[in-house]
Amino acid sequence: MYHKSVLKNGITVVSQPFMDRNSAAIGIWVNTGGRYEHESIKGAAHFFEHMAFKGSRKYSCSQIKEKIEGVGGALNAFTAEEQTCFYAKVPKKHFSQTFDILADIVFFPLIDKKDMEKERTVILEEIKMYHDLPQFRVMELLDGLLWPDHPLGQNLAGTPESVGGLSVADLKEFHGRHYSPGNIVVAVCGAMTHDQVEKIVGRKLAQITAQQPSSYKPALNQQSQPQVVFLRKEIEQMHVALGSLGLKTNHQDLYCLGLLNVILGGNMSSRLFNEVREKRGLAYAISSGVKAMDDTGLALIRAGVDNTKIVGAVELVLKELSKIRQNGVTADELKRAKDYFIGQFYLGLEDTMDHMLWIGETVISKDRVNKPSDVEREIRKVGLPQIKRIAQQIWDPKRLNLAVVGPLNDPLEARLRKLMKCS
């Protein structure tokens, strides 16, 4: 059973006690990320995530790692478009010390100029690395089509120019503005009662004062014609991303879209995997995915395609989308998709870390945690007409965006534009 409470200063605490486990997973979730940055400080959220581990008011860089890894634990962090999370998993008897360390690096970081200069070099190399990887570069290009002139359409880590220009004052200002109690969720899963968790969190963080909540630039979610973007690169495989604006986090049809995604390209039994890879051998890897955010979302299809088969592969994907829009799916497909979705969901809740990530993400994005049985009930309710309606809405040809990275030329690009019905 989930427990949720709010400290007087606005910090939310959510927990799932598993008293029979030997571990506890902790996540400090912050309601800020890449979309909260203006262009001149693009990459600040990601840069701060790196800097938090360089030292805090109580702990040096080496102590942060040694005091958690030295007792058999693991720690890490990630930055996304709307959230940043600092997390650890440790044997239960080390929970209190581990939380003290995580809270100290999140709320009381040093942000030293010398350390920042060293980490700047690391992040610049990280940006170069992802630019050199076509499977990541193609996604950046797709994001730029979906959200032009918007932080969501820009590299989460920033650009060499924006990262190169960030100062200690910039990071401290970003931290002070966004890392305030109303933006924080502490999520814990494992061998701790909620009362124990709340007491430890309160002892460390109750004195932090509340500030104004963070804000971001809204997404327009407007598109009236298909779009394409190409990047010519001499590599051995074409990388393709076909995407459409999806559904926001609290949309009533989000589970329906999730089931459509399973049927379309979510596993090895999916339509795209069978038709594009198994039957015709047009791609080594092909899959689909969905991402939901506060006011927008993404549905996408990704593939790594033989350089000589790019047109055939894209044509076949478009045909499969047309079929699912016109005819919907079968009852058997929907049943298998529901069983797969629910099975994967329950399997993902068995580990204390994965369970913590689920409750933390849902509370910070939706301000609630549904019971697993509630999720299963919503999935079971989805019917064939809903699937067809969402397929027609999401995969409307006018809403399609195609990004391709590879050894392209004028004739190939012209054929792909024609397939997409782009002028």
User: pLDDT tens string for the chain (423 positions)?
Assistant: 899 999 999 999 999 999 999 999 999 999 999 999 988 999 999 999 999 999 999 999 999 999 999 999 999 999 999 999 999 999 999 999 999 999 999 999 999 999 999 999 999 999 999 999 999 999 999 999 999 999 999 999 999 999 999 999 999 999 999 999 999 999 999 999 999 999 999 999 988 887 777 789 999 898 999 999 999 999 999 999 999 999 999 999 999 999 999 999 999 999 999 999 999 999 889 999 999 999 999 999 999 999 999 999 999 999 999 999 999 999 999 999 999 999 999 999 999 999 999 999 999 999 988 889 999 999 999 999 999 999 999 999 999 999 999 999 999 999 999 999 986
The amino acid at residue 235 is I
Domain-embedded: residue 23: yes
CATH of the domain at 307: 3.30.830.10
Residues 137, 403: Cα–Cα separation, whole Å: 9
Name the β-bridge partners of 117.
Answer: none
Domain-embedded: residue 300: yes
Domain-embedded: residue 283: yes
Pair (340, 234) in one structural domain: yes
Domain-embedded: residue 213: no
Quick one: pLDDT at residue 423? 67
**Residue 284: Cβ-neighbour burial (10 angstroms; 0-12, 13-18, 19+):** exposed
Collapse the DSSP code of 29 into the 3-class scheme (helix H, G, I; strand E, B; otherwise coil) and give the result: strand
Q: Alpha carbon of 404 to those of 63, 157, 375: distances in Å?
A: 45, 21, 36
The sheet carrying 184-190 orders its strands as: 3-6, 12-17, 184-190, 23-30, 84-91, 74-79
Pair (284, 149) in one structural domain: no
For the residues of 326-371, what is the DSSP string, one character each? Answer: HH---HHHHHHHHHHHHHHHHHTTSSHHHHHHHHHHHHHHHS----
Quick one: pLDDT at residue 112? 93
Within 10 Å of residue 300's Cβ, how many Cβ atoms? 22
Collapse the DSSP code of 186 into the 3-class scheme (helix H, G, I; strand E, B; otherwise coil) and give the result: strand
- Tokens found for residue 385: 């007409």
Quick one: pLDDT at residue 284? 87
Quick one: pLDDT at residue 1? 84
- Which residue carries 């690391």 as its tokens? 122
Residues 137, 88: Cα–Cα separation, whole Å: 30
Residues 254, 251: Cα–Cα separation, whole Å: 6
Pair (238, 367) in one structural domain: yes
- Which residue carries 């359409």 as its tokens? 153
Domain-embedded: residue 113: yes
Quick one: pLDDT at residue 210? 76
Domain-embedded: residue 216: no
Pair (9, 123) in one structural domain: yes
Range of the domain at 115: 3-205
The answer to whether the beta carbons of residues 239 and 406 sit under 8 Å apart is: yes
Which residues lie below 8 Å from residue 206, measured CB to CB, with a gap of 6+?
A: 7, 8, 9
The answer to whether the beta carbons of residues 46 and 123 sit under 8 Å apart is: yes
Domain-embedded: residue 313: yes
- Radius of gyration for the chain, computed over Cα atoms and rounded to the nearest angstrom: 23
For the residues of 32-93, what is the DSSP string, one character each? Answer: --GGG--GGGTTHHHHHHHHHTTBBSS-BHHHHHHHHHTTT-EEEEEE-SS-EEEEEEEEGG
Pairing of strands 12-17, 227-232: unpaired
Residues 215, 275: Cα–Cα separation, whole Å: 44
- Tokens found for residue 273: 């995997």
Pair (195, 314) in one structural domain: no
Collapse the DSSP code of 237 into the 3-class scheme (helix H, G, I; strand E, B; otherwise coil) and give the result: strand
Pair (45, 192) in one structural domain: yes
Name the β-bridge partners of 75.
Answer: 88
Task: Report how many domains make up the chain.
Answer: 2
